[in-house]
């Protein structure tokens, strides 16, 4: 394993350190890039590792495993644990055998009460509210952050903080406007459907 971070990950006014690191087996990955990502909210720089592969197919949906835990499944779990006789397990002198038996029974009951299910999530990240102006402003905010991080000018730092507040308000309004418009269109479609059915 080799550390691939070659830039400082924490920068203060008078010091810079590389305390965060990513280790990979460089013999397994011929083509990769490591890039600093400055988010403008911390003195730590995030690291973005991009591993180039030959995959041309990008799935439109991903599956994940979920477990339903609610008052009914918890009640079922407690009931099953209470009805189980544990005497035979704890009578053994071999502590490893006791532990393994206990764990096997416990997990069997656990998975019967909380069965894992695979669900598919469609990749529907809706970021259409992000305008060209917001993208430009976010890039400018990062530039201001980089300058303010190395500057002792209080006036400039106040300017940066004011810029962040204004950008935050603009983003909030852009989201609100975008989703309000979507909801309005959806309501119009519903009303059209109702009028066509009547």
pTM, to two decimals = 0.39
pLDDT in tens, 49-84: 787 765 554 555 567 788 888 899 999 999 999 998
Ramachandran region of residue 46, left (φ > 0), alpha (ψ -120 to 50) or beta? beta
User: pLDDT tens for residues 149-164?
Assistant: 788 888 988 898 899 9
CA dist 137 and 163 (Å) reads 9
């Amino acid at each position: 394993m080799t550390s691939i971070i070659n830039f400082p990950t924490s920068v203060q006014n008078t010091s810079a350190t590389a305390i965060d690191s990513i280790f990979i087996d460089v013999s397994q990955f011929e083509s990769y890039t490591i890039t600093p990502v400055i988010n403008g909210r911390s003195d730590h720089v995030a690291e973005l590792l991009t591993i180039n592969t030959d995959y041309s197919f990008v799935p439109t949906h991903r599956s994940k495993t979920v477990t339903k835990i609610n008052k009914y499944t918890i009640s079922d779990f407690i009931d099953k644990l209470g009805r189980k006789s544990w005497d035979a397990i704890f009578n053994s002198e071999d502590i490893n055998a006791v532990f393994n038996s206990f764990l096997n029974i416990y997990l069997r009951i656990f998975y019967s009460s909380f069965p894992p299910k695979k669900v598919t999530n469609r990749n529907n990240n809706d970021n259409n509210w992000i305008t060209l102006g917001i993208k430009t402003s976010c890039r400018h905010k990062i530039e201001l952050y980089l300058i303010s991080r190395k500057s002792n000018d209080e006036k400039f730092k106040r300017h940066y903080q004011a810029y962040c507040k204004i950008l935050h308000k603009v983003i909030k309004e852009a989201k609100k406007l975008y989703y309000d418009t979507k909801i309005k269109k959806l309501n119009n479609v519903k009303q059209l459907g109702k009028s066509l059915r009547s």
